[in-house]
Amino acid sequence: MPTLSRRAQSLGTENAFVVLAEVNQLIRSGKDIVSFCIGQPDFATPAHVQDAAVEAVRGGKHGYTPSAGIDELREAAAASMARARGITIAPQDVVVGAGAKPFIAYAIASVTDYGAGDEVVFPVPGFPIYESQCLANGAVPVGLPLREARSFAFDPDELARTITPRTKLLILNAPQNPTGGVLSLADLKAIAAVLERHPQVWVYADEIYSRLVYDAEFISIASLPGMQERTIISDGASKTYAMTGWRIGFTANKQLAPVFTRWITNTESCASQISQWAAVAALNGPQDAAETMRRRFLARRDLIVRLLNAVPGFQCASPGGAFYAWPNVTEACALIGAADSEELRKRLLHEAGVAVLADIHFGPRVAGEGQHIRFSYAASESAIEAGVGRIAEFVRRATRPPRK
């Protein structure tokens, strides 16, 4: 029997989909599960966006497009990204892909050499695909801890100590998955000051949640002096417009746009033309639905944070963006005798009927930061109330009496 390569055998995954498959199997077997494990809006794609897709189909717009995307979408994305960041972006510097996720791999492959010892610094906890794509592309993954005391931002001194002459890429994700943390202007200035001493380092600014910021204005590191040229801005339609399955993402960087275009030619050929026309309507059309979704997520954030903080042993900071809550459950684990957050996650699923993700699904647990689990509050208010209610009841029921 032919064997698999070491690269294929070691390829990582996104555990949200692994847990989702387990949840779906339990539901099919008759179990009643409230799921907070998948990060996608539970709203319908806005009607005018759906209509644009139907019009594209009826109008015969369903063949190949240029690998970089149709001109209309590159122009719309350039205008949208520029407006949100207070910078100028040329349409020819924008590349459209089948979602934002492929650009993580394209960026790593474009700025590091396989097996050369080139390093990529990424946040921990963080989106698991950062590390898996480093390994798949022969780069050295270097996790940099996010600190709860800093509202889940980097410590600039730790960043300065982490970067070496071999560092080629720094991945920033704000608002962040899984913590919901945002980076303030002060945070970004401190990061830029460190990078000023390391001109060989590119920045991958994963800003897919840029339109889901609640307590402040969104700020991109690309807006700081001298940073746009070395920053790969990554955004897309999935989270803002409830278009996860439409698979439309886009990046902007003048130097790398032609390289990303070649990667797309080599892999996916182009994003779906139908989805591209839908995204044009999303970006250029009415923004009422997107703003309504943002307000609903804000209300849900406030609801879930309030409810989680009433659960024995849970401590949940209010996330500044995205749609994730990241409560510290160190005390809850101790109360019920769980060894760690992963054991708590499994018990919540099988004993309380609630699906969440554990911190170890987002990289190695950060020393000294305790135990955490992730909730996606892209779920209805009734589901949030029911799910957290089940958790509170479970913790109270499972709490061990204190030793005498």
126-165: pLDDT as tens digits: 999 999 999 999 999 999 999 999 999 989 999 999 999 9
pLDDT tens, 346-392? 999 999 999 999 999 999 999 899 999 999 999 999 999 999 999 99
- Residue 361 has a pLDDT of 92
Contact call for residues 120 and 168 (beta carbons, < 8 A): yes
Amino acid, res. 251: T
- As a whole number, mean pLDDT of residues 259-268 equals 98
Over the range 139-155, which residues count as b (16 or more CB within 10 Å of their CB) and which as e?
Answer: bbbbbbbbebeebbbbb
**Which 3 state secondary structure label does DSSP give 113?**
coil
List, by residue range, all CATH 3.90.1150.10 domains of the chain: 6-44+289-398
**pLDDT band of 14, cuts 50, 70, 90:** confident
In angstroms, rounded to a whole number, what is the distance separating the alpha carbons of residues 151 and 149? 6
Burial class (CB in 10 A: 0-12, 13-18, 19+), 343: middle
DSSP string, 227-255: TGGGEEEEEESTTTTT-GGG--EEEE-TT
- Residue 8 has a pLDDT of 87
Closest CA to 56 of 275, 242, 244, 247: 275
Mean pLDDT of the chain: 95
Helix (H) or strand (E) holding 358: strand 357-358
Closest CA to 203 of 190, 177, 222: 222
- Res 177 pLDDT > 70: yes
List, by residue range, all CATH 3.40.640.10 domains of the chain: 49-284
- As a whole number, mean pLDDT of residues 23-30 equals 87
Contact call for residues 167 and 119 (beta carbons, < 8 A): yes
- Res 404 pLDDT > 80: no
Please give the CATH number for the structural domain made up of 49-284: 3.40.640.10
Give the largest Cα separation in the chain, rounded. Answer: 76
Which of 16-25, 104-113, 292-301, 386-395 shows the lowest mean pLDDT across its residues? Answer: 16-25
- Residue 132 has a pLDDT of 94
**Is 3.90.1150.10 the CATH classification of the domain at 6-44+289-398?**
yes
Question: CA neighbours within 13 Å on the CB side: how many for 71?
Answer: 0
Which of 395-404's residues contact partners 24+ apart within 8 Å by CB, and which partners?
Answer: 395/311, 395/312, 395/313, 395/314, 395/332, 395/335, 395/336, 396/312, 398/335, 398/336, 398/337, 398/347, 398/351, 399/312, 399/335, 399/336, 400/335, 400/336, 400/337
- As a whole number, mean pLDDT of residues 323-336 equals 98
What percentage of residues in the chain have a pLDDT greater than 70? 99
- Residue 15 has a pLDDT of 74
- Residue 403 has a pLDDT of 64
Of 28-32, 107-111, 152-156, give the range with the top mean pLDDT. 107-111
What percentage of residues in the chain have a pLDDT greater than 90? 89
Contact call for residues 373 and 327 (beta carbons, < 8 A): yes
